[in-house]
Amino acid sequence: MSFNEAQKRAIEFNKGPCLVIAGPGSGKTFTLTNRIKNLINNHDVSPQNILVITFNKSAAIQIKERFYKENNNQGIGVFFATFHSLFFTILKHANNLTNDAVITLNLQRSIIRKEILKYELEYDNEDELIDLVLAEISKIKNDNLDINNYKSKTIPEQTFKNIFRVYEFEKKRRGLLDFDDFALKLVYLLKENEELRQSLIKRFKYLLIDEFQDINKVQFEVIMQLLGEECNLFVVGDDDQSIYGFRGSKPEIMLSFLDIFSKASKFELNINYRSESNIVELANKLIAHNKVRFEKNLHTLERSKGIITYLRPKDQKEEREFLVSEIVKLREQGINYRDIAIFSRTNELNKVFVRELMAMGIKCKNDFKMSSFYNSNVVEEVLAYLEIALGDRTREKFLKIINKPMRYITRSYLASPVSLISLKEIYEKAERPNYTVIKNIDSLIFDINMLKKMTSFAAINYIRKGIGLEDYIEEYARKNKANKELILEDLEKITELSKEFTKISDFVAFVRERQKENGEAASDETGVSAGVKDKDYSNFDGINFYTLHRSKGLEFKVVFIMDVCEEIIPLNKATFEEEIEEERRLFYVGITRAKKHLYILSPKHRYNKDYLPSRFIEEIGLEENQLL
């Protein structure tokens, strides 16, 4: 087993604080696991005195498995944990917490979803909005911020504050804690319970932290409480790959490590063993534009150059056509689908490409649920209209259609069960009656009565043309840069299907049953499209789809980065310099996943709007339709 000089020095480091700056593809995990092995075998450190902390469960498992493999299954007793699992374990023993005290992700999402429906919010993807709201809640706790002074970047300020308070109330009412609560409670506990703190210091004499650039304030405060006199803290990370600021990560903690620990050692792993030389050079050129960072000299020993392709397709259609044709060519050249990855800013953007490839018979795998058209938003809206016509008066159903098309009806006025007559009276009795809204409510009452008399096919056509859902879709797609063609395609499918049913009730029952079946199938798929079960996942030869955030830590022979345009990368909400720097780091992470071939695409036209290429394209010196 051979190490380069920097790896060797980091592995052989014994006591005291130590910072290892590990660039992409530099053998970070290899160095970390061999350092654990060296402590045990060469410095007589008991495995029970070593604590290794990561940020997610899969990373903890990977490091643990690699350590035991490289150490011939010796060294049993090293404690491998995520921050969350470590904090919970300590609190569990100190405060007699049980697993039932942890709020589930499903319940978190359910609370946020319920609150979101109360407000006049426009969003393209409900799941992604919920994730962003939860991330902001996490950031408030991790940064120990005052909710009264916090301004949300996701939804209106007061709306966010209301949702935050309801979320906290619902947790407290149920006697539950989330993972961020664990950290806050542990900080307080360690300050109050010196006996507990000393017992942990005695147990964990050596602390090793992976991906240190992702640490937040509260987590670091706990770590400082766990350090003994020798400060045996060994951290590995790359400030250039810090991309989780939106949920509270603080790369400045890593950047100030040498100031916090004045006697700390520093090692730089700057040899990239993953990517070809010109891909590394491109990444270096990009990240050099960030001002707040450690200066580095990332390079590769490989003399061969990879292929970098930059294209500016005319529009999304041309972008999709190029993607399909290029993947076919790569396959003909002997590259397996599993060695190809496609990165987009969001899962919603990725779904467009998944559908295109799967329509061509190309298998795909992804970490998001790829629902059928039965589960699409527009089908839900059509069904809501039909179920209301059948007599459903639940608030949930009316919320789906009340302003589709726009009727300017305030959602909070909807009581459950919904009475449109009572709703109308609210507006009639107002100090200044809104006659436009009153007229709209009368029209809605008329439309619902009309739907009752129709066949399924006639009713859906009436919803589309008579009520105006199709015009609403056109306007919504224009304002929100949504894919109008995909929405209308789903609407056309459900319309065509309705021809087979005369009664609306039979049609609704059929679609609901299909939705249920698809839901069960999706939960069975564990994120793998095209019917591949979890047990077959490792051997599944399919195109990989990830968001740029989820791509971190991965590597592929071929990488496509899609829609590298202004307002997407960097995101239009990124305005301050530190936000732009994080966006640049996100693009850097995407580029450095590629081993041999990197494609970057910036379509000129998307959803009826012209788009400029990302400012990052100019920074790295790429020109239209360039092949390097």
Q: What is the pLDDT of residues 321-350, one digit of tens each?
A: 999 999 999 999 999 999 999 999 988 788
Residue 368 pLDDT > 90: no
Any binding-site annotation on 228?
Answer: no
Helix or strand (DSSP H, E) at 186: helix 179-192
Query: Is 181 inside a domain boundary?
Result: no
Helix (H, G, I), strand (E, B) or coil at 364: strand
26 is in an annotated binding site: yes
pLDDT over 50 at 11, yes or no: yes
Tell whether 290 is covered by a domain: no
Is residue 288 included in any domain, yes or no? no
- β-sheet bridge partners, residue 545: 342, 366
Pick the closest to residue 495 from 383, 392, 352 (CA basis).
383
CATH of the domain at 504: 1.10.486.10
Instruction: Tell me, yes or no, whether 183 lies in a domain.
Output: no
What pLDDT is recorded for position 295? Answer: 94
CATH number at residue 123: 1.10.10
| pLDDT score recorded for residue 248 | 86
Q: Any idea which of 114-118, 236-240, 306-310 has the lowest mean pLDDT? A: 114-118
Within this chain, do residues 481 and 504 fall inside the same structural domain, yes or no? Answer: yes
Output the CA–CA distances (angstroms, integers) from residue 596 to 364, 458, 555, in the order listed: 21, 55, 10
Residues 6+ apart with CB under 8 A from 394: 416, 417, 418
Q: How far apart are CA 340 and CA 353, in angstroms?
A: 13
Q: pLDDT tens digits, residue range 91-104?
A: 988 888 888 889 99
Quickly list DSSP for 391-433: T---HHHHHHHTTSS-----GGG--SS--HHHHHHHHHTSSS-
Residues 517 and 551 in one domain: no
| Within a domain: 42 | yes
Per the structure, the count of domains in the chain is 4
Residue 520 has pLDDT above 60, yes or no: no
Mean pLDDT confidence for 116-141? 83
Per-residue pLDDT for 563 more than 90? Answer: yes
Same domain, 508 and 539: no
Is 530 annotated in some ligand binding site? no
Residue 621 pLDDT: 93
Is residue 515 located within the same domain as residue 396?
yes
- Our measurement of the distance from residue 141's CA atom to the centroid of its chain's CA atoms, rounded to an integer in Å, reads 19
Q: What is the pLDDT of residues 389-438, one digit of tens each?
A: 999 999 989 989 999 999 999 888 888 899 999 999 999 999 899 999 99
Edge-first strand order for the sheet with 79-82 is 79-82, 50-54, 206-209, 233-237, 18-22, 265-269
Residue 31 lies in a domain: yes
Same domain, 234 and 85: yes
In a shared domain, residues 119 and 214: no
Asked whether 591 and 341 are in contact (CB, 8 A), the reply is: no
Contacting residues for 568 by C-beta, under 8 A, at least 6 apart: 345, 349, 611, 614
Residues 297 and 267: their CA atoms lie apart, in Å, by 13
Q: Is 405 annotated as a binding residue?
A: no
Same-domain status, 512 and 615: no
In this structure, the answer to whether residues 246 and 122 fall within a common structural domain is no
119/412 Cα distance (integer angstroms): 7
Q: Is the pLDDT of residue 529 over 60?
A: no
**Residue 31 confidence (pLDDT):** 95
- State the pLDDT at residue 536: 45
Per-residue pLDDT band for 516 (boundaries 50, 70, 90) equals: confident
Q: Are residues 396 and 519 in the same domain?
A: yes
* Selection from 537, 536, 543, 579 nearest residue 558 by Cα: 543
Tell me if 29 is assigned to a ligand binding site. yes
CATH number (domain holding residue 351): 3.40.50.300
* Shared-domain flag, residues 133 and 77: no
509 contacts 503 by C-beta, under 8 angstroms: no
**Same structural domain, 399 and 485:** yes
Domain final residue, candidates 477, 499, 523: 523
According to the model, what pLDDT value does residue 527 have?
34
Confidence label for 533 from pLDDT (cuts 50, 70 and 90) = very low
Residue where a domain stops, chosen among 474, 499, 523:
523
pLDDT number for residue 519: 60
The answer to whether residue 182 sits within a structural domain is no
Domain enclosing residue 231, as ranges: 5-95+188-273
Contact between residue 401 and residue 467 where contact means Cβ atoms under 8 Å apart: no
Give whichever of 355-364, 370-379, 512-521 has the largest mean pLDDT.
Answer: 355-364
> Which whole number is the average pLDDT over 349-361?
84
- Digit-coded pLDDT (tens) for 274-302: 999 999 999 999 999 999 999 998 999 87
Any binding-site annotation on 23? yes
Report helix, strand or coil for 601. Answer: strand
In a domain, 491, yes or no: yes
pLDDT-derived band at 535 (thresholds 50, 70, 90) equals very low
Crossing angle of helices 126-142 and 105-116, in 10° steps, is 110
- Known binding residue 334? Answer is no
Grade residue 367 by pLDDT with cuts at 50, 70 and 90.
Answer: low
* Mean pLDDT within 193-207: 96
Q: Is residue 88 domain-shared with residue 208, that is, in the same domain?
A: yes
Looking at residue 371, what is its pLDDT?
57
Residue 530 clears pLDDT 70, i.e. is over it: no
The fraction of the chain above a pLDDT of 70, given in percent, is 93
Q: Give the model's pLDDT for residue 1.
A: 63
Q: Which two tokens stand for residue 185?
A: 């409670």
Contacts (Cβ under 8 Å, ≥6 apart) of 453: none
Averaged pLDDT score across all residues of the chain? 89
* pTM of the predicted protein model: 0.79
